[in-house]
Amino acid sequence: MNKNSNPWKMVALLCATATASYICRVNVSTAGPLLMEEFGLSQVAMGRVFSAFLLGYALFQVPAGALADKWGASKILGWAAWFWVALTVIQSLTGWGPFQVNAAYALIVFLISRFLLGISESPTFPGAAKGVSMWVQPRFQGRANGIVIAAVGLGSAIAPPLISNVMVHWGWRIALVVSAIPALIIAFLWKKITVASGDKSINETTSVDIQPVSPGPSNLKSLSFILLTASYTLQGYVGYIFVSWFYIYLVQERHFSLLSGAWMSSLPWVLSIISIPLGGLISDRLAAGKLGGIWGSRIVPITGMALSGILISIGAHTENAIIAAISLAFATAFVLCVEGPFWAMMMRIAGKNSGKAGGLMNMGSNLGGLISPTLTPLIATYIGWENALHIAAGLSLIAAGLWLGIRPPKNI
């Protein structure tokens, strides 16, 4: 990659990488009903499988960010993609032919393989944050992050119809293998880029006009960064309910069929493909406009998470399954539209340490996500799914309120 290369091409590749990552992440959620039926897994046991991924993913965010700071995005993401493919294939072999196991051992295999997949996917967004911080001028970083993190919506929109249609005809094992094909393509693309650049990181071969601000050592200990991480933790708790449980909730609680539930569960992610980059774009423009950097950066996160909380409660309470699905779909789009502002604010605080800071912030999000897939069905067991979702709505409102104390550093 030469000095005059267009950084937006690399942003597009980062988005494609995150999309492939997310397809491998959510494939088991779509295959969940058939997995639960074949191996006799309860909702609580399936929640543990979801949480196993998030445990590995959350614990290795900071090391992954540090490696991205040291080695650059191309090398760390290229190696990661190969592991996504291998671990997805291992999951698909569980209980097949010579790999026959009983239900207890199947659960152990899925817990271990999902934990390892979580570790291998941990560099995805810290690596992307490092790339964006080095390749994209600061005034465009909100929209750049929005484009990359739109992969959350794109991958989650692609996975349910793709996997459900394949598994209806050929079973869940073939569906998982098919879900790994995008990751295989991404692995070859990053290998090609690394070879073309002399096996150096893109950081060493790319020049941008404006480098990120180098912060003082206290910025990662500042109140703003602490509140930012706390808010992102709550946002992760809410968001991962939809990542992990939305499809199963529609099928088992709202009584959609496997195929209709798959298409309906794609709706929030289709909306998020629009809402995530749009949130970053609007936030960039507000921060550069009359509102200024403080309030301009706050409007989108506060509004998005507050509206999400309101819509979650509406969707939880209504008896109409269609209205519930649509309300929860828009709630997902709103809670995810804040991604660009979160990551842009992190970069303003962290500067050249964006890989490590992104890992810290994303670790918080995924600790929230680690708790919610297991805790939500447990809460639902005792007080019902409606009240479990009302709790999530309240946490979304708290996350919005925390932004009142977040501001960019004075040197920005």
Cβ(107)–Cβ(49) under 8 Å?
Answer: yes
Token digits for 298?
A: 């706050």
In the block, residue with structure tokens 């950084």: 7
pLDDT given for residue 210 in this prediction: 35
Q: Which of 271, 269, 244, 120 is nearest to 187 (CA)?
A: 120
- What DSSP designation does 213 have? P
pLDDT given for residue 268 in this prediction: 81
d(CA 332, CA 393): 11
Average pLDDT (297-316) is 92
**Helix ranges (DSSP H) in 93-215:** 103-121, 124-135, 141-149, 151-170, 172-179, 181-196, 202-205
How far, CA to CA in Å, does 70 sit from each of 131, 273, 318, 354, 396? 12, 31, 50, 11, 35
pLDDT given for residue 348 in this prediction: 82
Output 206 or 44, whichever has higher pLDDT. Answer: 44
Percent of the chain with pLDDT over 90: 21
Q: For residue 173, how many C-alpha atoms fall within 13 Å in the half-sphere facing its CB? A: 9
The answer, yes or no, to whether residue 117 has pLDDT greater than 70, is yes
Percent of the chain with pLDDT over 70: 87
pTM for the full model?
0.70
Tens of pLDDT, residue by residue over 236-283, are 999 888 776 777 778 777 767 777 777 777 788 788 888 988 998 898
End-to-end Cα spacing for the chain? 29
Token digits for 405?
A: 């104390």
Q: For residue 304, how many C-alpha atoms fall within 13 Å in the half-sphere facing its CB? A: 30
The answer, yes or no, to whether residue 338 has pLDDT greater than 80, is yes
Cα torsion 172, 373, 328, 401: sign: negative
What is the assigned CATH class of domain 7-198+210-405?
mainly alpha
